[in-house]
Amino acid sequence: MKGIHYLLVVATLAVAASIVSAYDPSPLQDFCVAIDDPKKALFVNGKFCKNPKLVKPEDFFFSGLNMAGDTTNPVGSNVTTVNVDTLPGLNTLGVSLVRIDYAPYGQNPPHTHPRASEILVVVEGTLYVGFVTSNQADGKNLLFTKILNKGDVFVFPIGLIHFQLNIGKTPAVAFAGLSSQNPGVITIANAVFGATPPINPYLLARAFRLDKNVVLNLQKQFWSSN
């Protein structure tokens, strides 16, 4: 009887392993339109692999995160990104890194990373940070916030809207690790009111319960990215 149970366990694990090995990989770009002509195709992650015999230490190296970013922009922050585009050795490794500089009262406005969770550590200044959950059964979206000081750490779950605000009178600096070589970013205001071509203003007016003229004015704004 024990032998039968053992065989059932082994068979179950084998089936599970086959399912896991056949599971689709997480997407590394916004979309991947199918194409039959291989001459016009790209790899799913948008990158080709370098011949291992030609790889150099420089392929795994990036310099410059000691330099403060320029925060003289409408949102008062600057994100210096270290991803597969700036550090080729990250390709297929599933991680990336950013440095975020904040002017006094500057912010990293509400945004999401569609392909990554984020863990943030404050190295200078004081930040008010938070994220909003997806729609709950009761129709609400829960807000989780925290005030972070130097040395504090906070996690933003994958895909959820989150933000940071420097609540101090001096500049602030944070570093964040992300669980994707190309996490992507969707800045909510930019995406909604700065889309090209514009989203139908009647739709947005009803969705946000605003006057259509307010929506039209918002769509005329210059939505800058930090």
**Secondary structure class of 180 (helix, strand, coil):** coil
CA distances from 202 to 159, 182, 194, 206, 208 (A): 27, 34, 15, 6, 10
Is 0.95 surpassed by the pTM of this model? no
CATH topology (fold) of 57-184 = Jelly Rolls (2.60.120)
For 123, the token pair is: 């190295």
CB 119 within 8 A of CB 157: no
What pLDDT score does 217 carry? 96
Buried b or exposed e, range 117-139, using 16+ CB within 10 angstroms: bbebebebbbbebbbbeeeeeee
Strand partners of residue 225: none
Question: pLDDT digits over 36-89, tens only?
Answer: 666 666 665 667 778 888 889 999 999 999 999 999 999 999 999 999 889 988
Place of tokens 């179950």: 12
